[in-house]
A and B are shown apart, each in its own frame.
Chain A
Amino acid sequence: MTEAGTWWTLLAAPVLLLALAGLAVAGSALLDARDAGRPVRVATLGRPFLGVPRALLAQPRRLPAPDVLLWRAGVITVPVAAILSTLVIPFGGAVVADLSVGVVWFNAMEVLTWAGLWLAGWGPNAAFSLVGGYRFLAQGLAYELPLMFALISAATGAQSLRVGDVVAAQHGLWFAVWMPFAFVVYLAGVLAFSFLGPFAYPAGRDIADGVLGETSGVDQLLLQAGRWLWLASGAAMAVPLFLGGGAGPGLPGWAWQAVKTVLVLGLLVWVMRRLPVLRADRYVEFAWVVLLPVAVLQTLVPALAALG
């Protein structure tokens, strides 16, 4: 039922992802203005985008003995991996590449941000940004395994790693309904790999913005874009994995996919502003002692359903 590989999907996927990320940034700016008591106007939505031309024109900051090659590689990896992850996300009836291992592909692209952020921390040869890179790894060790088990739960429920099959397996009942815990863990994982909100620890204010601190101009733009692109990509992937994909009454598939994605994105933007930043050492213990065992038990549910 999914049509793969038409040429225009290759262009449409990044554009759609960028639009979604922009929507999230604008929404967050709107909430910012409301919380600060500033008047909420149309111009408020455009405010964060004023930084884009400024970043493009900014003079790059020079540092003593940076590892330029690795730094650039890391900075580019984060947004590029986010865009590559959308290859397997079906949008209505269209998908760029209907890989037989789509779920693993998404996971692998997400893990690339580990390398990207550590390199972005290492490259500038500065203490705080390296601390930020290390912080992301500590956080990664906490969020990654529960997230993997959440993905495994969805794949086990569908008995397939193909994202199209995961969607098809949810006819009648969404995975979010009978695997609620996997859904919640997945959403927490989305916030974690986009290092936003409670997981903004690697770019924490206490270490002068950490991995983002030494970047300037285009580099900073790419890393910031990477965060929001990942948030958008994670929200878009939540729909086929847990919310029945494009299925719904009345509207065509792409419209339902868009509606559900925007709702998930809105939820994520709202939640990430509500929670305080979590320290990685605290979250690691919580993840390993509470989240991981429950995530394993959650995987047992579709596994038993598949056997029975």
Chain B
Amino acid sequence: MTGVVLLWVLGVLALAGGVLVFTLDSMARVTFALLGSLMCVGAVVTVLGLPYLGVVIVLMMVMEMVIMAVFMIAYMMNPAGLMPMSMLHNTRGALVISVAVFAALVAGIFVVPWPDRSPPRPRDTTVQVGVSLMGEQMLTMVTLGFVLLATMVGATALATRRGRYDRLGDDLDQRPAKDPAVGGVGR
């Protein structure tokens, strides 16, 4: 019973946070409204009996949203995202897409054949999550990991203006490297 009440309260709070994302006009407030919404999602997952995933969602989302705030503020068109601004772009198209996605997800709730839980739920669900992610899906996880890493390295390599010849000279023999910011280990 408490669980059901909690789920409803958290669900409504998550939605309210989502609405605030599009109604507030400050980049920082928008980011932290989104963070609040995602923390409610983490709490929902915890109440549903997956505390590991729930707490990890909170952990990762705090880090991601704070870093996102830095980049959102840095790359906004008006002076550094510091001025009031609207989060709405392409309002009609976005409305159509979001309504369609929402409808599809809600339909999914009713269409998916949910398993009826006949065996009792294990006390610690973290092991079950780990086994189902890392057991049969190990190949998927490893591939995904490498794809993500390659994407990050590739994107960084493409985005940076300076290459190794800028750092180490034409013969790659310049030590220490010529960097705009000197690092801590003197490479």
Q: Let me know if B65 and A101 touch, CB within 8 A.
A: no
Assuming A101-B126, A104-B56, A285-B184, what are 4 further A-B pairs, CB within 8 angstroms? Answer: A67-B26, A69-B29, A105-B55, A118-B69
Instruction: Tell yes or no: B185 within 8 A of A by CB.
Output: yes
Q: Let me know if A122 and B28 touch, CB within 8 A.
A: yes
Instruction: Tell yes or no: B62 within 8 A of A by CB.
Output: yes
Given contacts A137-B70, A283-B184, A289-B187, A101 and B32 within 8 Å (CB-CB): no
Cβ–Cβ < 8 Å partners of B52 in chain A: 100-101, 104, 161
B185's partner among A100, A278, A286 (CB-CB below 8 A) is A286
Given contacts A108-B58, A111-B59, A282 and B184 within 8 Å (CB-CB): yes
B184's partner among A104, A140, A286 (CB-CB below 8 A) is A286
Give per-residue flags for B32-48: 1 if the beta carbon is below 8 A from chain A beta carbons, else 0: 10010000000000000
Query: Whole-angstrom distance between the alpha carbons of A29 and B35 in the complex?
Result: 38
Query: Whole-angstrom distance between the alpha carbons of A286 and B52 in the complex?
Result: 31
Residues of A within 8 Å of B, CB-based: how many?
Answer: 34
Q: Let me know if B181 and A290 touch, CB within 8 A.
A: no
Q: Let me know if B183 and A282 touch, CB within 8 A.
A: yes
Given contacts A101-B52, A282-B183, A289-B187, A108 and B123 within 8 Å (CB-CB): no
Query: Whole-angstrom distance between the alpha carbons of A271 and B87 in the complex?
Result: 47
Closest to A282 in B: B184
Cβ–Cβ < 8 Å partners of B32 in chain A: 70, 73, 115, 119
B35's partner among A115, A140, A141, A278 (CB-CB below 8 A) is A115
Query: Whole-angstrom distance between the alpha carbons of A290 and B184 in the complex?
Result: 10
Instruction: Tell yes or no: B141 within 8 A of A by CB.
Output: no
Instruction: Tell yes or no: A281 within 8 A of B by CB.
Output: yes
Task: Give A129 Cβ to nearest chain B Cβ, in Å.
Answer: 13
Instruction: Tell yes or no: B63 within 8 A of A by CB.
Output: yes
Q: Let me know if A99 and B51 touch, CB within 8 A.
A: yes
Task: Give A118 Cβ to nearest chain B Cβ, in Å.
Answer: 5
Query: Whole-angstrom distance between the alpha carbons of A67 and B84 in the complex?
Result: 12
Given contacts A104-B52, A119-B32, A122-B28, A114 and B184 within 8 Å (CB-CB): no
Q: Let me know if A107 and B181 touch, CB within 8 A.
A: no
Q: Let me know if A100 and B124 touch, CB within 8 A.
A: yes
Query: Whole-angstrom distance between the alpha carbons of A281 and B185 in the complex?
Result: 11
Instruction: Tell yes or no: A219 within 8 A of B by CB.
Output: no
Given contacts A100-B51, A108-B55, A118 and B66 within 8 Å (CB-CB): yes
Cβ–Cβ < 8 Å partners of A285 in chain B: 183-185, 187
Task: Give A225 Cβ to nearest chain B Cβ, in Å.
Answer: 21
Given contacts A114-B62, A114-B66, A290-B185, A67 and B28 within 8 Å (CB-CB): yes
Instruction: Tell yes or no: A112 within 8 A of B by CB.
Output: yes
Query: Whole-angstrom distance between the alpha carbons of A108 and B43 in the complex?
Result: 12
Given contacts A69-B29, A161-B126, A108 and B62 within 8 Å (CB-CB): yes
Give per-residue flags for B89-113: 1 if the beta carbon is below 8 A from chain A beta carbons, else 0: 0000000000000000000000000
Give residues 1-37 of B contacting A (CB, 8 Å): 26, 28-29, 32, 35
Cβ–Cβ < 8 Å partners of A114 in chain B: 62-63, 66
Cβ–Cβ < 8 Å partners of B187 in chain A: 285, 289
Instruction: Tell yes or no: A134 within 8 A of B by CB.
Output: yes
Closest to B46 in A: A101
- Identify the interface centre among B26, B51, B58, B59: most chain A CB within 10 Å of its CB: B59
Cβ–Cβ < 8 Å partners of B185 in chain A: 285-286, 289-290
Give residues 136-187 of B contacting A (CB, 8 Å): 181-185, 187
Closest 10 CB pairs of A and B: A285-B183, A282-B184, A286-B184, A108-B59, A285-B184, A100-B124, A104-B55, A101-B51, A111-B62, A114-B66
Task: Give A100 Cβ to nearest chain B Cβ, in Å.
Answer: 5
Query: Whole-angstrom distance between the alpha carbons of A162 and B51 in the complex?
Result: 12
Cβ–Cβ < 8 Å partners of A282 in chain B: 182-184
Instruction: Tell yes or no: A272 within 8 A of B by CB.
Output: no
Instruction: Tell yes or no: A188 within 8 A of B by CB.
Output: no
Instruction: Tell yes or no: B85 within 8 A of A by CB.
Output: no
Give residues 237-292 of A contacting B (CB, 8 Å): 278, 281-286, 289-290
A-B contact pairs, 30 of them (CB 8 A): A67-B26, A67-B28, A69-B29, A100-B52, A100-B123, A101-B52, A101-B126, A104-B52, A104-B55, A104-B56, A105-B55, A108-B58, A114-B62, A115-B32, A115-B35, A115-B66, A118-B69, A119-B28, A119-B32, A137-B67, A141-B67, A161-B52, A281-B181, A282-B182, A282-B184, A284-B184, A286-B185, A289-B183, A289-B185, A290-B185
